[in-house]
Copies of this chain bind each other. A is one copy, B any other.
Amino acid sequence: MRASAEDDGQDHAAPPSGGRTGRRGPRPAGSVTISGVAAAAGVSRATVSRVMNGSTSVHPELAARVRAAAERLDYAPSVAARRLALGRTGTIALVVPDLANPLFQSVLRGLSQAAGKAGRQLLVAESNEDPEEEVVLAIEARRNSDGLVLASPRAPDERLRALSDRLAPFVLVYRQVPGLEAPSLSIDNAAAIGEIVAHLTGSGHRRLAYLAGPPGSAGNAERLAALRAAPGLDLTVLPCGSMFDDGYAAAGAVVRSGASAVVGFNDMVASGVLTGLRELEVEVPGDVSVTGFDDIPFARYTTPPLTTVSIPKSELGAQAWERLWALMNGESGGYNVRFQPRLLVRGSTGPARS
Interface residues of A (CB under 8 A from B): 1-12, 15, 17, 20, 25-28, 76, 78-81, 83-91, 99-100, 105, 108-109, 112-113, 116, 121-126, 128, 137, 140-141, 143-144, 244, 248, 271-272, 274-275, 278, 297-298, 300-303, 305, 312, 315, 326, 329-340, 342
Contact = CB atoms under 8 A, between A and B. Distances in A.
A116 B126 contact: yes
Nearest to A315: B2
Contacts of A124: 108, 112, 122-124
A310 to B, nearest CB: 9
A260 to B, nearest CB: 22
Contacts of A83: 80, 83-84
Nearest to A23: B330
Nearest to A115: B125
11 contacts: A1-B340, A9-B333, A10-B332, A10-B334, A11-B326, A26-B87, A80-B80, A83-B84, A84-B84, A99-B109, A275-B301
A253 B126 CA distance: 42
A336 B112 contact: no
Given A9-B335, A336-B7, A81 B79 contact: no
Contact of A335 (B8, B26, B302): B8
A79 B9 contact: no
Nearest to A314: B100
A171 to B, nearest CB: 13
Contacts of A335: 6-9
